[in-house]
Structure 1
Amino acid sequence: MYKIRVILDTKEDVIRTILVEDNLNLEELHLTIAKSFGFGGREMASFYRTDEEWNQGEEIPLFNMEEVGEGISMQTCILNDSLPEENDKLIYVYDFLKMWTFYVDVIEISSGKKEGLPQIILTVGEIPSEAPEKEFVAEKLDDGFGDEEDIDDEYGHFDDDFDYNEY
């Protein structure tokens, strides 16, 4: 049995702690999380593997997106294989148009069995009426070419009056 804390990425605290079976697949976890926050579970969603600092890694989509072969999907990922240890984490994004983003953290794993799972055991805060705006800002990458002024400095000044048709 897993005790999982799910935190909505908002300014206000919106948290759900849920108990689920350890053999649950991630599609069932997706539906459980969606319903625990009042969503119908009908929108596209993905889990993303992450490290201790919540850096987004490999995507686990709701459906297999591979054209050929067995691609990864929520249905093929079992909870105890995907999150085998306490403090393992995933990022969960629900509804790609609104980008509801959640932090999923395994806070306890036990061998006990319990009837009536999945079960919400803690509810903190109310989900806002609109998803928080996400700002995706990429770091400026150095392409190795420098600025346009660097060309003139490196290769001598190009004369703007040069007539290329002379040759």
Structure 2
Amino acid sequence: MAILKFRVYFEEDDSIYRDIIIKHIQSFLDFHETILKAFEFDNKHQATFFRSNDHWQKGREISLEVYADHSYKMAPLLMKDTSIGSEIKNTNQRFTYTYDFQKHWDFLIELINVSKDGDAGTEYPKITRTEGISPKQYGTKGLLGEKFADIEEKYDLSKSAEGFGEKGEDGEDVNYDEGGSEYADEQDL
């Protein structure tokens, strides 16, 4: 039984990727679910794979289901009925994967290794490598929210406040005005 190792790149940043190993007899549905898990996405949206060439041109479509609002040149294969091995046409096989047709989360997939025997104790498919921080599926709001960003912008919080100083080399207090210039404290005069 062949074990296929794929590298799944986030299309917008190729430094963000996941390596996934899967049996050649497993389905594209298994692969789809593992990609979502690897990038911490939910499983609530439409999805499709395309067999691809070296230039990432889309070929045969392997879809989660036949979508009524989607136009097809040729009826797609279904993920649950299509094994990964049946769509491997060469040793450098590529696929594209789109998740959530509204947001267009696009991924580029390359076959990077084929081994004849799997590990008896390993459950497939399996995520074997994670590089880069996964994009947030629904965006993100800071823990402090937008109000903090407004405060931070209004008041330059990177400078120390007037009246607060540092100890100088000789142990005396050193104070800075708003422009960052040193001044003497009234008590020092």
Rg: which structure is higher? 2
Please tell me whether the aligned partners of residues 45 and 92 of structure 1 are also in contact (alpha carbons under 8 angstroms). yes
Which runs of 5 or more structure 2 residues have no equivalent in the other structure?
69-74, 139-189
Instruction: Report if the CA contact (8 A) 2:41-2:137 is conserved.
Output: no
2:99 aligned with 1:94 = yes
2:46 aligned residue (29, 44, 47): 44
Q: Once the 2 structures are TM-superposed, how far is the Cα of residue 21 of structure 1 from its aligned partner? A: 1.1
Alpha carbons of structure 1 residues 12 and 74: separation in structure 2 relative to 1, 3 Å: closer
2:6–2:21: 8 Å Cα contact kept in structure 1?
yes
For 2:58, the equivalent position in structure 1 comes to 56
Q: Could you tell me which of 2, 5, 8 is aligned with 1:3?
A: 5
SS of corresponding position for 2:13: coil
Residues 127-138 of structure 1: pairs in structure 2 closer than 5 A? 127-129=134-136
Mapped pair 1:73 → 2:78: yes
Matches within 5 A, 1:89-128: 89-114=94-119, 115-128=122-135
The TM-score with structure 1 as length reference comes to: 0.70
Letter in 2 for 1:99: H
Contact kept, 8 Å, 1:4 with 1:106, in 2: the verdict is yes
How far has the Cα of 1:41 moved from its partner? 2.3
Q: Which has the larger share of strand?
A: 2
Matched residue SS, 2:15: coil
Which of 18, 23, 26 is residue 24 of structure 1 equivalent to?
26
Q: Report deviation, 1:128.
A: 2.3
- RCO comparison, higher one (Cα < 8 Å, 6+): 1
Task: Report the AA paired with residue 75 of structure 1.
Answer: K
> Alpha carbons of 1:50 and 1:128: their partners in 2 closer, same or farther (altered >3 Å)?
same
C-alpha contact (below 8 Å) 2:62/2:76 kept by paired residues: no
Task: Give the 3 Å change call, closer, same or farther, for CA 128–64 of structure 1 in structure 2.
Answer: closer
The residue identity in structure 2 corresponding to 1:22 is: H
Give the superposition deviation at 1:77.
Answer: 1.4
What are the superposed Cα offsets for residues 126-165 of structure 1, whole Å, 9 maximum, x if unpaired?
122368xxxxxxxxxxxxxxxxxxxxxxxxxxxxxxxxxx
* Alignment coverage as a number of residue pairs: 129
Determine the C-alpha separation between the residues in 2 that align with 1:6 and 1:89.
10
Structure 1 residue 39: Cα displacement: 1.0
Contact 1:85 1:109 in 2 (8 A): no
RMSD (Å) for aligned C-alpha atoms: 2.2
Shift of 1:45: 0.2
What's the % identity of the aligned pairs? 27
User: Equivalents in 2 of 1:73, 1:5: separation in Å?
Assistant: 22
